[in-house]
């Protein structure tokens, strides 16, 4: 039984050591893989706020991932074409500056999360799952039919966006950006879980009625959590689009929503580093199992089944014990 704090530190160390080693032996592909893992970890970190701490099973979180990605794609597309995004009532040009794109991605995802949350939180249980799934599908089909930004073919951005002072095309520098953002996100969630808001959210997940008797509104708390969760996943989406220099409607797909949930389940629901280790394991499996067999999804499916049926609390749960009870 390893204490959770030491486990968390070792996972973070993995995210530093593996790319450092890859840099040393000159394997840029491994650095790219770790970047992918870090971005997925950020996306799952966002979902974990809603799912793990808030108890909201959102099967449509890919909406925010896709919105972040398309925010980046649309702005960069207009920048590389030298055409403005909007001409009336005021001119908005495209931009290829990462910080601005991140801000836009976060704001748009937060707005979307607010709207979706207001409508979806009127329901609960399986209806909530279905309505979030439906919103995901809505955005998916909408992006397919919006042919100005590629439609089904997606949108390619030729040159990675710029971060002041860094060469973002260098794999290790882009990884450093993603890793720092992931660490900042982890610190934020760590503080959030211990803040009065986080405690209230936890209570709202477990017994909403008691929260009401204490004088708080569980729906409002869950809505705020949902908005924060969407914003973080949106940021991850913008980074993902930058990594691949490509956005497509598949960023909205429900399979991706399911995959983000899988990262959390593999790692441990409601645990701070659950999404992180889950994303790392998934990307690792994707790479190694995919090399072994063309039908590696079968093994992934079997692994998932065994975790759900027999594994208590994901990887962190198995190693650290059930410090957090999830009924």
Partner 1 sequence: MSFILIAEQILNGLQFGIMLFLMAAGLTLIFGVMGLINLAHGSLYMVGAFAAAAVAGATGSFLLALISALIAAAAAGALIEILVIRRLYNKDHLDQVLATFALILIFSEGTRWVFGSFPLFLDIPEYLSGPVSLPGGIEYPLYRLVLIVVGLAIASGLGFLITKTRIGIQIRAGENDREMIAALGVDISKLYTIIFALGAALAGLAGALVGTIQSVEVGMGEPVLILAFVVIVIGGIGSIKGALVGGILVGLTDTLGGVFLPRFFALFLDNSAATSVGSSLASMAIYILMGAVLIWRPTGLFGARA
Interacting residues with partner 1 (CB under 8 A): 51, 57, 59, 119, 122-123, 125-127, 129-131, 133-135, 137-138, 141-142, 144-147, 254-255, 258, 261-262, 265, 269, 295-298, 300-305, 308-309, 327
Of 75 and 131, which CB lies nearer to partner 1 in the complex structure?
A: 131
Of 99 and 258, which CB lies nearer to partner 1 in the complex structure?
A: 258
Residue 49 structure tokens: 């706020």
Query: Rg for the chain (alpha carbons), in Å?
Result: 20
Nearest distance from C-beta of residue 262 to partner 1, angstroms: 7
Nearest distance from C-beta of residue 189 to partner 1, angstroms: 19
Query: H helices within 195-313, ranges in order?
Result: 196-206, 208-214, 218-244, 254-267, 274-292, 296-309
Of 119 and 199, which CB lies nearer to partner 1 in the complex structure?
A: 119
Of 6 and 142, which CB lies nearer to partner 1 in the complex structure?
A: 142
Q: Determine whether 211 is exposed, middle or buried from the number of CB atoms within 10 Å of its CB (0-12, 13-18, 19+).
A: buried
- Check: CB of residue 232 under 8 Å from CB of residue 185: yes
Of 21 and 141, which CB lies nearer to partner 1 in the complex structure?
A: 141
Among the listed residues 8, 6, 5, the one whose alpha carbon sits nearest the alpha carbon of residue 274: 8
Q: Determine whether 272 is exposed, middle or buried from the number of CB atoms within 10 Å of its CB (0-12, 13-18, 19+).
A: buried
Nearest distance from C-beta of residue 87 to partner 1, angstroms: 17
Of 95 and 137, which CB lies nearer to partner 1 in the complex structure?
A: 137
Distance of alpha carbon 319 from alpha carbon 326, whole angstroms:
16
Nearest distance from C-beta of residue 172 to partner 1, angstroms: 33
Residue 267 structure tokens: 């790692």
Q: Determine whether 236 is exposed, middle or buried from the number of CB atoms within 10 Å of its CB (0-12, 13-18, 19+).
A: buried
Of 125 and 196, which CB lies nearer to partner 1 in the complex structure?
A: 125
Among the listed residues 187, 66, 307, 315, the one whose alpha carbon sits nearest the alpha carbon of residue 74: 66
- Check: CB of residue 211 under 8 Å from CB of residue 200: yes
Nearest distance from C-beta of residue 309 to partner 1, angstroms: 5
Nearest distance from C-beta of residue 10 to partner 1, angstroms: 26
Contacts of residue 118, Cβ cutoff 8 Å, sequence gap at least 6: 223
Nearest distance from C-beta of residue 286 to partner 1, angstroms: 12
Nearest distance from C-beta of residue 11 to partner 1, angstroms: 22
List, in sequence order, every residue forming a beta bridge with 249; answer none if it has no partner: none
Of 171 and 230, which CB lies nearer to partner 1 in the complex structure?
A: 230
First to last CA, the chain: 21
């Amino acid at each position: 039984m390893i204490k959770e704090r030491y486990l968390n530190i070792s996972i973070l160390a993995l995210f530093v050591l593996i790319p450092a080693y890859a840099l040393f032996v000159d394997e840029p592909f491994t650095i790219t893989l770790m970047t992918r893992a870090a971005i997925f970890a950020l996306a799952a970190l966002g979902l974990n706020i809603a799912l793990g701490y808030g108890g909201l099973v959102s099967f449509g979180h890919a909406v925010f991932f896709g919105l972040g990605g398309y925010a980046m794609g649309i702005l960069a597309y207009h920048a590389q074409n030298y055409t403005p995004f909007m001409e009336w009532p005021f001119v908005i040009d495209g931009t290829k500056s990462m910080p601005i794109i991140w801000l836009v991605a976060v704001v748009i995802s937060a707005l979307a999360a607010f709207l979706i949350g207001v409508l979806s939180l009127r329901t609960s249980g399986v209806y909530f799952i279905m309505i979030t799934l439906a919103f995901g599908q809505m955005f998916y089909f909408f992006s397919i039919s919006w042919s100005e930004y590629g439609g089904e073919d997606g949108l390619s951005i030729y040159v990675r966006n710029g971060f002041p002072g860094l060469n973002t095309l260098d794999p290790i520098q882009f990884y450093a950006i993603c890793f720092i953002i992931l660490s900042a996100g982890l610190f934020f969630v760590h503080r959030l879980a211990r803040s009065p808001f986080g405690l209230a959210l936890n209570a709202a997940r477990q017994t909403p009625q008691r929260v009401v008797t204490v004088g708080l509104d569980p729906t409002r708390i869950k809505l705020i959590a949902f908005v924060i969760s969407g914003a973080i996943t949106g940021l991850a989406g913008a980074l993902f689009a930058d990594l691949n220099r490509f956005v497509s409607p598949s960023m909205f797909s429900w399979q991706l929503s399911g995959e983000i949930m899988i990262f959390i389940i593999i790692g441990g629901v409601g645990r701070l580093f659950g999404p992180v280790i889950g994303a790392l394991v998934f990307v690792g499996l994707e790479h190694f199992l995919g090399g072994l067999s063309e039908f590696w999804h079968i093994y992934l499916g079997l692994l998932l089944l065994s975790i759900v049926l027999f594994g208590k609390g994901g990887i962190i749960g198995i190693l650290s014990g059930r410090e957090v009870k999830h009924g």
